[in-house]
Each structure stands twice: as structure tokens, then as C-alpha cells.
């Protein structure tokens, strides 16, 4: 195993006992490349061939005020797997804000829990005053990795193979890009949304396979909202307007406090992929908040949407967390009680039907990507340690039978969001793997881990040692080398023409 280290960064972060600056959330500041990871358990399957990318909230500088786990700088951890071998590298996302703080050698922006205007620089995002970190999501589109921020900053591009920074996406609109854009590999299109505190409060756009913005339209809402994710089907994009949003009276005083607005339903906007505001079909449903969808598809005259319904979207403070009581509750699935759920929108009648798919508290789900926009049977969710934003296991849901298979990691070991990767020449929907990073607080180490998606209860079938312990993070994706090669051929033909 050969390790190459990049030039050290400037950091002003001090040792801390803050729950999201220590333990499994301890930041790592070195950037390295490892040519081949040492396999320490089992064997990496030969029928995985692609790249696993995971985004990370990884602060570099001492916070100016109160630190929230989603204030960190974006660090992408990447493993490339081919021929039963794996290489590793990690790099920070070089946003404009990251570079400005590297020059200054200290933090210039406040965080999510700080009053607006904290810091020395004007901020970005729907919240106002925040640093644009690109630290929430990671997808691959048109041969480029895109790191995005859930408060609507720029979309930051990287080479998915080398992690070389490629600057901000030139198609990004003035109101930014939210996390969770969706890619349709069949058409090569990327669908995205943004939201803001000024009318019309939301926009929706489409970027084609060549990386060109080909559609952008307002989605008028009654006021500022806090959507987090979207979904796509073959013909529609699905956006939402949910009753958990900023308190209007406090917002007039520039105080950003979200509350559940009683009596306000959840609304879903079904818009044709390149439709306009007049084309939207609105559907109402039970009040809730949803962080993440798992899939959507068309079923005759119905559009089906699946995701995680929160039974208590405005959770009680976790008193045992002291000064972090509110923060802990809003990042704790056991406080907001998220469960797998299905919505059915009847295009003929305009009615919505709902059903609970699981009583288990879980979130951050994945499906076989070959079943995106198709009726799928299986969902793989993560479970979390109560009171924390830490993944401590997995659930494999069979949405046809209701059967659930569970794997719980050993105490002190935590996972990352784990894409389902179909086996080459897969024979069934669940014929494949879950790919993840593990953080082991018992040994102060991290590993690449691979699980059999059809038998997660057996635990990892392979583990490979990473060169350092990484910090817990947020979203991840997997792209095959075949898809990257197809993107490269498309761009080569386009350049030649």
C-alpha cells in the first residue's frame, strides 16, 4: 500500500468535546491517495466495477459561534473498485468560501445555529448568511461529480476518478442548486430544484447530458418553504410544499426558526419533466415532513412515490443533550420518527392514497439503481443510534411481503450512506451489494466494507483498511466505470462534431 499525501492545509480547529466535532465526527484534515487498499476480511467481489463517493461535513476552522453538524466543509472520500482491488483518495471541495478561509487561515462565516450576519462575509443559501460548502450531497452527471449544499449554494464539480476540482457548474442559476438533484441515466438528464426567501420561492430545472441548462421554470409557492429532496418518474418530476417551514413572524425579525404549521396539509407538485407552472398537478396529503425519497414511478393512471414519513416533524428537545438539545432532536430519527411510507397520486381523480410500509424507525434509503423510476420491491435503509446522527445498522425491506432483514453493527462502529450496487449480470433485484465506509471507535480506524444485499444479516463479506479514520458524513453515490466510459465517449463525439 503506497500512500501519497497532498500539501497540508491551513487549519485553526481546536480539540473539542462537542458531540459533532469529536468521536466518530472527528474531522480529518489530511488529503491522501492510496494505490491499493489492504483487504483485511474476505475478498472484494470481482463483479463490482466502479467508484464509491461519499460527501462529508468536515470542518477545517474553529467555529465563530455554535457548531452544527451540517456546518462542515465538504470532503469527498472515494474508493475505486475493479478486478477485486480498491484504491482510495480523499479531497476537500474547493468552493469559493473554502478558498477564502484558506487564505485567511480562519473561519469567515457563521453556522446554521448562529444569528444571521455572523462572520465577516455575506452568505449564500436559502437560510441566509451561511457559507456555501457543497457538503451535503454527491451525484455524478455527464461524467462529473457534483457536490451540492442543501441550503442552495453552487453545484461544485470534481473529476470523479481523480477528485480534481473543476469549479462551479456553469449552468447553476442565481438562486443556486439544492442538494438531491436526480439523474436519469437513460436520457442523461439531471433534474434539480432550488428554494429561497423571495417569490416565487422555488424553481425547477433540467440540465441535459452535455451539461447545458435546457429548462428552468418558477414553481410558485405561498411563501418561503424548506424542501429537502425531489423525485422523478419517466414523465414527471415531483416537488413538495410541506407544513414544516419558517415561522413568518420570527422571519420578519430575521430569525430562522422552523415550526409545524397546524392545519396545513402536505402538497406535492407533479410537473412534466419540461413543464411550466401552468402544467403542475397539485396533490394534498397528510401533514408531515420528509427528508428523503427512495423512488417514484408511474403505475397506470397513478404516480407512486416512496420515502420516509415523519410522525413527529417538530420533535421534542432531547433534554439529556443539554445546550445541544434542539440540534440533537432535529438530526435524530428517533425524535422525528421517520418510517418508510408510500403515496399514490391518482391522475384521473386528483386524490391521494397513503400507506405505511414499515413501522421501523429508519431513513437514508437506497434501491437497486436499475429500478429507478420503475416499480421496485426492495429498499435498504439505515438505522441510527438513538439521540445521534450516526448510522448503526441496516434494514432490508421487502415492500411486497412486509418482511424485514436487519443487521446491527457492533457497538462503537458506524456506517455511511450505502448505495446498492447490482452485481454484473444480476439475476434478481436484490442480487448485488451494499458499499459503505465504517468508522470504528473501538480501534480508531476506518474501513471500506461490502455487504451482500440479499443477505445483509450476515454482515460484511469484505473489508479493506483505509489509511486514516474518517469523519461521519452524509450522502453517497456509486457510478460504474462503464457509465463513466459512456459519458467520455459522448463528450468525445460531441467535441469531434
CB contact at 8 A, 388 and 321: no
> What is the residue range of 42's domain?
3-14+22-496
Residue ranges of the chain with per-residue pLDDT less than 50 = none
pLDDT, residue 128, reads 63
CB contact at 8 A, 467 and 40: no
CB contact at 8 A, 392 and 385: yes
Taking phi over 0 as left and psi of -120 to 50 as alpha, with beta for the rest, 167 belongs to: left
pLDDT, residue 118, reads 83
pLDDT tens-digit series, residues 402-460: 999 999 999 999 999 999 999 999 999 999 999 999 999 999 999 999 999 999 999 99
Model pTM greater than 0.85?
yes
pLDDT, residue 302, reads 98
pLDDT, residue 125, reads 64
- Angle at the Cα of 469 from the Cα atoms of 465 and 472, rounded to 5 degrees: 115
Which CB contacts under 8 angstroms, 24+ apart, belong to 272-276?
272/235, 272/236, 272/237, 273/189, 273/191, 273/206, 273/215, 273/232, 273/235, 273/236, 273/237, 274/206, 274/214, 274/215, 275/217, 276/217
- Distance of alpha carbon 386 from alpha carbon 388, whole angstroms: 6
Dihedral, CA atoms, 465, 466, 472, 478, nearest 10 degrees? -90
pLDDT tens-digit series, residues 17-74: 999 999 999 999 999 999 999 999 999 999 999 999 999 999 999 999 989 999 999 9
The CATH number of residue 451's host domain is 2.130.10
- Structural domain count of the chain: 1
- Distance of alpha carbon 150 from alpha carbon 229, whole angstroms: 9
CB contact at 8 A, 203 and 220: no
Residue 227 CA, chain-centre distance (Å), reads: 13
- Angle at the Cα of 144 from the Cα atoms of 204 and 161, rounded to 5 degrees: 155
Counted residue by residue, the chain has a size of 497
What's the grid cell of residue 94?
Answer: 474547493
Computed on alpha carbons and rounded to an integer, the radius of gyration of the chain in Å comes to 21
pLDDT, residue 126, reads 60
pLDDT, residue 273, reads 98
pLDDT, residue 127, reads 59
Asked if omega into 182 is within 30° of 0 (cis), the reply is no
Residues contacting 270, CB < 8 A, separation 6+: 236, 237, 238, 280, 281, 282, 283, 303, 345, 347
Amino acid at each position: 500500500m503506497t500512500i501519497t499525501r497532498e500539501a497540508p492545509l491551513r487549519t485553526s480547529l481546536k480539540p473539542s468535546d462537542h458531540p459533532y466535532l469529536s468521536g466518530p465526527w472527528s474531522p480529518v484534515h489530511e488529503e491522501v491517495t492510496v494505490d491499493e487498499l489492504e483487504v483485511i476480511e474476505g475478498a472484494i467481489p470481482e463483479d463490482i466495477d466502479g467508484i464509491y463517493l461519499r460527501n462529508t461535513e468536515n470542518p477545517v476552522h474553529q467555529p465563530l459561534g455554535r457548531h452544527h453538524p451540517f456546518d462542515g466543509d465538504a470532503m469527498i472520500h472515494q474508493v475505486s473498485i475493479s478486478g477485486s482491488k480498491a484504491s482510495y483518495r480523499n479531497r476537500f471541495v474547493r468552493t469559493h468560501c473554502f478558498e477564502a478561509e484558506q487564505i485567511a487561515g480562519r473561519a469567515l462565516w457563521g453556522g446554521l445555529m448562529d444569528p444571521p450576519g455572523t462572520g465577516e462575509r455575506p452568505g449564500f443559501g436559502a437560510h441566509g448568511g451561511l457559507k456555501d460548502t457543497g457538503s451535503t450531497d454527491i451525484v455524478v452527471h455527464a461524467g462529473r461529480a457534483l457536490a451540492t449544499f442543501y441550503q442552495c449554494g453552487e453545484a461544485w464539480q470534481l473529476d470523479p476518478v481523480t477528485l480534481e476540482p473543476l469549479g462551479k457548474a456553469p449552468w447553476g442559476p442565481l438562486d443556486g442548486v439544492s442538494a438531491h438533484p436526480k439523474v436519469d441515466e437513460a436520457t442523461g438528464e439531471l433534474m434539480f430544484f432550488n428554494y429561497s426567501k423571495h417569490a416565487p420561492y422555488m424553481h425547477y430545472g433540467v440540465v441535459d447530458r452535455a451539461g447545458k441548462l435546457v429548462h428552468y421554470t418558477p414553481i410558485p409557492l405561498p411563501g418561503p418553504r424548506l424542501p429537502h429532496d425531489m423525485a422523478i418518474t419517466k414523465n414527471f418530476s415531483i416537488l413538495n410544499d410541506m407544513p414544516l417551514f419558517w415561522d413568518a413572524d420570527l422571519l420578519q425579525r430575521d430569525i430562522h426558526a422552523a415550526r409545524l404549521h397546524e392545519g396545513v396539509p402536505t402538497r406535492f407538485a407533479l410537473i412534466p419533466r419540461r413543464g411550466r407552472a401552468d402544467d403542475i398537478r397539485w396533490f394534498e396529503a397528510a401533514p408531515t415532513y420528509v427528508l428523503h425519497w427512495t423512488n417514484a414511478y408511474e403505475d397506470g393512471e397513478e404516480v407512486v412515490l416512496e420515502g420516509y414519513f415523519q410522525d413527529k416533524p417538530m420533535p421534542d428537545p432531547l433534554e439529556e443533550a443539554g445546550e445541544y438539545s434542539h440540534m440533537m432532536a432535529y438530526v435524530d430519527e428517533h425524535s422525528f420518527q421517520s418510517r418508510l411510507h408510500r403515496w399514490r397520486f391518482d391522475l384521473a381523480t386528483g386524490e391521494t392514497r397513503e400507506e405505511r410500509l414499515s413501522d421501523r424507525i429508519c431513513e437514508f434509503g437506497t434501491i437497486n439503481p436499475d429500478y429507478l423510476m420503475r416499480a421496485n420491491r426492495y429498499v435498504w435503509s439505515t438505522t441510527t443510534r438513538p439521540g445521534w446522527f450516526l448510522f448503526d445498522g441496516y434494514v432490508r425491506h421487502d415492500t411486497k411481503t412486509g418482511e424485514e432483514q436487519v443487521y446491527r453493527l457492533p457497538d462503537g462502529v458506524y456506517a455511511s450512506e450505502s448505495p446498492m450496487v447490482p452485481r454484473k449480470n444480476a439475476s434478481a433485484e436484490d442480487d448485488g451489494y451494499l458499499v459503505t465506509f465504517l468508522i470504528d471507535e473501538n480501534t480508531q480506524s476506518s474501513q471500506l466494507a461490502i455487504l451482500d444485499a440479499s443477505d445483509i444479516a450476515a454482515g460484511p463479506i469484505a473489508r479493506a483498511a483505509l489509511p486514516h479514520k474518517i469523519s461521519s458524513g452524509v450522502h453517497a453515490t456509486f457510478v460504474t466505470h462503464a457509465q463513466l466510459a459512456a459519458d467520455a465517449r459522448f463528450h468525445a463525439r460531441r467535441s469531434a462534431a
